[in-house]
Structure 1
Amino acid sequence: MTKPMPAVFFGHGNPMNALLDNSYTRGWAAIGQEVPRPSAVLSVSAHWYISGTSVTTMTTPRTIHDFGGFPPELYRVEYPAPGDPALADRVRSLLAPISVDPDGDWGLDHGTWTVLRHVFPGADIPVVQLAIDKRQPAKFHFDAGKRLSPLRDEGVLIVGSGNLVHNLHAYAWGERAVEPYDWAVRFEDKARELLLTGNDGPLIAYETLGRDATLSIPTPDHYLPLLYVIALRRESDAIRFPVEGVDGGSVSMLAVRLG
């Protein structure tokens, strides 16, 4: 029997990582070299956070430069991976009775392409994005992730892209390296402990984890992609953290790999 495809949550951080050679981007590249070559990638990105559930259906998704104030060379980057309408249809079928709108406009936002540019630099693997319905509670997203589990047996690499800790109000925007905030370290440590023990309940009900969680997750958009990934866990899956670090004191770059 073929082993199921791994699933990975990426802490994507600053869009400039698309152009940089650092410990994070080298870690992403290593993941791409280690995982079996997928038939396609299904990405759940923090940056497609809308009122509803949609999936991209186009054959040639555009590269979306959904940010401002960065150097011109970043806006010139293209990630010309093909789409996969058949996978989009499969996602819609698996998520039923959730209503999933086919989307022919969105494309690949920076939560997806800035990471995949390092993971699969050839841009030759089809990529489909699934939107996050911002109206729904965390449990909805965890349950949706569970419905997608058969894709792991069909050669699809499911990725979530966000950040476990993502507080831009506390972010140190200067060039000088800063130490992570104590609350960011405590929350990441607690999340790691829960992940390693398979205790998903508190991760779903993250608001119950106290002030450290409140500071680490001031808005849910960057956190919810993690729930799609951990919902895919099977009994035989090892949990690994192939990329680590905290950027600017308040953005966790932790990657979480299942399988």
Structure 2
Amino acid sequence: MTTPHATPRMPVLFIGHGSPMNVIEDSPFRREWQRIGPLFGSRWPKPKLILCISAHWITQGWWLTGMAHPKTIHDFGGFPQELFDQQYPAPGAPEWAAHTAQLLRQPASGEAVGLDLDQWGLDHGCWGVLKPMFPEADIPVVQLSIDYHRPMAEHYALGQQLRSLRHQGVLVMASGNTVHNLRTMQRSAADNQAYDWAIGFDQWVADQIRAGHNEALVDFQAQGNIAQMSHPSYDHYLPLLYAAGAAEPGDSVEFFNEGYQLASIAMRSVIWD
């Protein structure tokens, strides 16, 4: 009688995605994504599926993409045609999404997560990172939307529901930024330059994660002015709560891309393993 092999637990990633131009420019951030991708297959198993939570899919209620062939969404403007020409033809996972949507429960209401069969696809917060990481586009990708208007604790709670997926070969990847203020961008700033408030808030986030106080990230607005300046709207912060919720007690923590873009976007990225 043979003993069944347990599926190795997958890590959780939070990726600071920054400017859409990172997908086509040879930035240090893109080079790090290119370095991390091949580690799946050596340091970790190749994912059976990638579940992406992007700052750019905001909905009423929570939804999973359930189509077989999710389209590449170019949800930005004012960029070169080369960026609009980018495609990421990763397959979807209709059966998995339909099954998982019934298992995940929307916090507070207890209702199942909705299934989107034709409205969304893969937005640039998702494919803009996955294309440098997994250029073959041969891993099925499903996106989970964000209900922006729900309390912070509910985003973290839904992230906690994703923990079990890590034991099923699913890579949970959240894509946003620890600091994201487009109103105060400085285009001449170097990648190691940022406002004091941006550095302060990014460091506060790092301190909570490093100490294993992931739940403290929920109450980020208690940090006052540095939190308000770092997130005038908090769409790019919310993905972090899903990743932090999916992390398990005792996970090791590794940071990468600890730099800044345009002085007011923090690119800090996190691996929980």
> Would the TM-score normalized by the shorter structure come out above 0.5?
yes
What residue number does 2:55 align with?
46
3-state SS of paired residue (1:205): helix
**Which residue does the alignment assign to 1:5?**
10
Please name the residue that 1:177 is paired with: 190
Match of 1:106 in 2: 120
Contact in 1 for aligned 2:7/2:169 (Cα 8 Å)? no
Give the structure 2 partner of residue 151 of structure 1: 165
CA drift at 1:31: 1.4
**Aligned equivalents of 1:12, 1:199: Cα separation in 2:** 23
Match of 2:68 among 54, 59, 62: 59
SS of the residue 1:44 aligns to: strand
Does 2:137 correspond to 1:128?
Answer: no
Q: Is the 8 A contact 1:181 1:249 kept in 2?
A: yes
- Tell me the CA shift for residue 3 of structure 1: 2.9
Q: After TM superposition, list the pairs within 5 Å mapping 1:190-229 onto structure 2.
A: 190-229=204-243
Q: Please, what TM-score do these two structures have when normalized by structure 1?
A: 0.96
SS at match of 1:65: coil
Runs of at least 5 residues in structure 2 that lack an aligned partner in the other structure: 1-5
RMSD: 1.3
Give the paired residue count: 258
| Amino acid paired to 2:143 | Q
Task: Could you list the structure 1 runs, at least 4 aligned residues long, displaced by more than 4 angstroms after superposition.
Answer: none
* Per-residue deviation, 1:176: 5.1
Gaps of 5+ in 1: none
* Partner Cα distance (2:95, 2:206) in 1: 35
Q: Which amino acid aligns with 2:111?
A: I
Q: Is the 8 A contact 1:42 1:159 kept in 2?
A: yes
Which of 27, 32, 39 pairs up with 1:34? Answer: 39
Q: Is the 8 A contact 1:52 1:135 kept in 2?
A: no
**CA deviation vs aligned residue, 1:50-79 (integer Å, no higher than 9, x gap):** 222111000000000000000011101100
Report the residue type matching 1:57 in the other structure: G
Structure 1 residues 235 and 19: CA distance shift in structure 2, 3 A: same
CA–CA distance in structure 1, aligned partners of residues 29 and 176 of structure 2: 14
Q: Compared with structure 1, are the counterparts of its residues 168 and 200 closer, same or farther at alpha carbon in structure 2 (3 Å cutoff)?
A: same
Distance in 1, matches of 2:184 and 2:259, equals 16
